[in-house]
Amino acid sequence: MRPLERPASRWLLPLLLVAMACSGTNPPPPLSPPADPHPSEASSAPASAPARREPPVPTRREDVVETLHGEEIHDPYRWLEDGESAEVKAWQAAQNERTGKALSALPGRAALTRRIESLLRIGHVGSPAVYGAKKGKGRYFSTRQAPSEDQPVLYVRDGVTGADHKLVDPNTLGKDGLVSLDFWAPSWDGKKLAYGISSGGDEQSTLHVMDVETGKDLPETEVIPRARYASVAWLPDGKSFYYTRFPQKGDVPDGEEHYHRKVYLHRIGEPWAKDALVFGEGRAMTDSPSVSISPNGRWLVASVHMGWSRVEAYLLDHKAGPKAKFVPLVVPKENAIYDVDVYDDFLLVRTNDGAPTYELYRVDPQKPAREHWKKILPATSDVLQTATSIGGQIFATYIVDARSVVRRFSATGEPKGEIPLPTMGTTGGVSGAWDGHEAFVGFTSFAVPGTILRFDLATEKVNTWAEIQPPVDASEFVVTQEKARSKDGTMVPYFLVHKKGVARDGKAPAVLTGYGGFNIAQMPAFAGSRYVMLEQGGVLAVANLRGGGEYGEAWHRAGMLGAKQNVFDDLYAVAEKLVADGVTSSERMAVMGGSNGGLLVGAAITQRPELFRAAVCAVPLLDMLRYHKFLIAKLWIPEYGSSEDPAQFEWLRAYSPYHNVKPGAAYPAVLFATAEGDSRVDPLHARKMAALLQAEAGGDKPILLRVEGKAGHGAGKPISKKIEEATDVYSFLFWQLGMRPPG
**Extended strands (E) in 318-382:** 327-330, 338-342, 347-351, 359-363, 374-377
Segment holding 197, helix H or strand E: strand 192-199
Q: Are 224 and 267 in contact (CB under 8 A)?
A: no
- Pairing relation of β-strands 404-409 and 415-419? antiparallel
Alpha carbon distance 328, 331 (integer Å): 7
Nearest CA to 411 out of 366, 348, 457 is that of 348
Segment holding 134, helix H or strand E: strand 129-134
Phi and psi at 64, nearest 5°, equal: -95, 120
**Extended strands (E) in 457-501:** 462-468, 477-485, 491-499
Alpha carbon distance 139, 154 (integer Å): 13
Nearest CA to 14 out of 618, 648, 427 is that of 618
Q: Which residues have CB under 8 Å from 217's CB, separation 6+?
A: 208, 209, 210, 211, 223
Q: Cα 596 vs. chain centroid, distance in angstroms? A: 9
Phi and psi at 87, nearest 5°, equal: -65, -40
Nearest CA to 437 out of 43, 714, 24, 137 is that of 137
Computed on alpha carbons and rounded to an integer, the radius of gyration of the chain in Å comes to 25
Alpha carbon distance 347, 341 (integer Å): 6
Burial class (CB in 10 A: 0-12, 13-18, 19+), 381: exposed
Annotated catalytic residues are 595, 713
- Pairing relation of β-strands 669-675 and 703-708? parallel
Amino acid at 369: A
Alpha carbon distance 505, 495 (integer Å): 19
Nearest CA to 393 out of 381, 369, 377, 404 is that of 377
Burial class (CB in 10 A: 0-12, 13-18, 19+), 341: buried
Q: What angle do CA 208, 214, 220 make, to 5 degrees?
A: 30
Alpha carbon distance 300, 295 (integer Å): 10
Alpha carbon distance 651, 641 (integer Å): 9
Phi and psi at 254, nearest 5°, equal: -55, 130
